Amino acid sequence: MSYLQRSLGTGETIIVRARFHWLYSLTAWLWLLIPAIALLAAGTWVRQQGGDTGSGPGLYGVGLVGLVFLAGLFVFLKMMILKWSTEIGVTSHRFVEKRGLLSLHSNEIALPNIEGVQVKQNLLGRIFGYGTVRIEGTGVDSVTTPTIADPVGFVRAIQTAKEHLVARV
C-alpha cells in the first residue's frame, strides 16, 4: 500500500497521482546504456588489437570508459531511486508529496491553504508534455515537484479539487 493511500483521512479520496514522464526514464537508461555500450566496444577493440596482455593506450582508454560507465551507473541509480521513492498526489483535502527510500520526507499542503500554483515547461516540455509544478501555500510553504508528465492537467486537478472542497463547505 502506498504512502498516499495509508495517509488518507476519513472520507478523503485520491483525486490524481502525478507520474514521471517517460522521457525521465529514457534519460536515466541512456545514462546507463551509452557508457555500457562504449565500454563493451572499447573492450572488444582492445582484444582485437591484441592489447589485452599488457598496458598500453588501449587499456587506458578502456579504464577511462569504465570510469564513465561508473558515473553513468551512479546517475542512473540516482534518477531511478528518486522515481521509485517519490509519490505525488492530490486528495480531496490536500496536496501530498512524499520522497525517500530508507527515510521519509513528506510535504503536505491543505487545499484551502494553496495560494498559488506555477507550471514551468521549457520548449521540449511543451512539445512532449512534461514540466515542474510549484505549489505555494500560506506563509512560507512551497513545494516544487520533480519533472512530471502533464503538469497542466495536474494543476487542473488541484483547481478542481479546491473548487469541490469549497462547494462542500
Shared domain check, 99 and 36: no
What would you report as the CA-atom Rg of the chain, rounded to the nearest whole angstrom?
Answer: 22
Residue type, position 15, single letter:
I
Reported in sequence order, the residue ranges of the chain that DSSP labels E, i.e. its strands, are 14-17, 87-91, 94-99, 105-110, 114-120, 130-137, 142-144, 148-149
Shared domain check, 126 and 69: no
> What confidence tens digit (pLDDT) does each residue in 23-69 have?
999 999 999 999 999 888 888 877 777 655 555 556 677 778 889 99
What range defines the domain where residue 118 resides?
Answer: 3-20+86-168
Q: What pLDDT sits at residue 54?
A: 54
> What confidence tens digit (pLDDT) does each residue in 108-118 have?
999 999 999 99
Shared domain check, 93 and 32: no
Shared domain check, 116 and 58: no
The length of the chain is 169
* Residue 164 pLDDT class (50, 70, 90 cuts): confident
> What confidence tens digit (pLDDT) does each residue in 126-163 have?
999 999 999 998 876 789 999 999 999 999 999 999 88
Q: What pLDDT sits at residue 114?
A: 92
CA distances from 166 to 9, 15, 64, 101 (A): 18, 15, 60, 35
Shared domain check, 100 and 133: yes
Shared domain check, 96 and 121: yes
Residue 108, SS3 per DSSP = strand
For the chain, the domain total comes to 2
Q: pTM, whole model, 2 decimals?
A: 0.81
Q: Which residue has the higher pLDDT, 125 or 44?
A: 125
Shared domain check, 108 and 77: no
CB 119 within 8 A of CB 136: no
Shared domain check, 157 and 131: yes
Shared domain check, 160 and 101: yes
CB 94 within 8 A of CB 162: no
Whether pLDDT at 122 is above 80: yes
When the pLDDT of each residue in the chain is averaged and rounded to a whole number, the result is: 89
Q: What pLDDT sits at residue 78?
A: 96
